[in-house]
Amino acid sequence: MEMEILVEIEVGVKRCGVLPSDTVNFVKRLVKLPGIKLAGILTYGGRGRDAEKLRGFNLI
């Protein structure tokens, strides 16, 4: 049985998630775990649309 996992990426609002700079290595390690399947990647930018808050998202 596999468990599908969504990886949340921190996009600058300092709520939660993997830092953009760590995302690739995190996902590479995650998919090597038995019983784990990457279902997707998600972000939550909130309501702020200014350039600083979107910086983390743009790094990906």
CA distance 3 to 22: 22
- Residue 41: phi and psi, rounded to 5, are -125, 140
pTM above 0.75? Answer: no
The pLDDT assigned to 9 comes to 94
Q: How confident is the model at residue 11 (pLDDT cuts 50, 70, 90)?
A: confident
Q: What is the percentage of the chain residues whose pLDDT exceeds 70?
A: 77
By three-state DSSP, how is residue 25 classified? helix
Q: How far is CA 32 from CA 6, 24, 25, 37, in A?
A: 15, 13, 11, 9
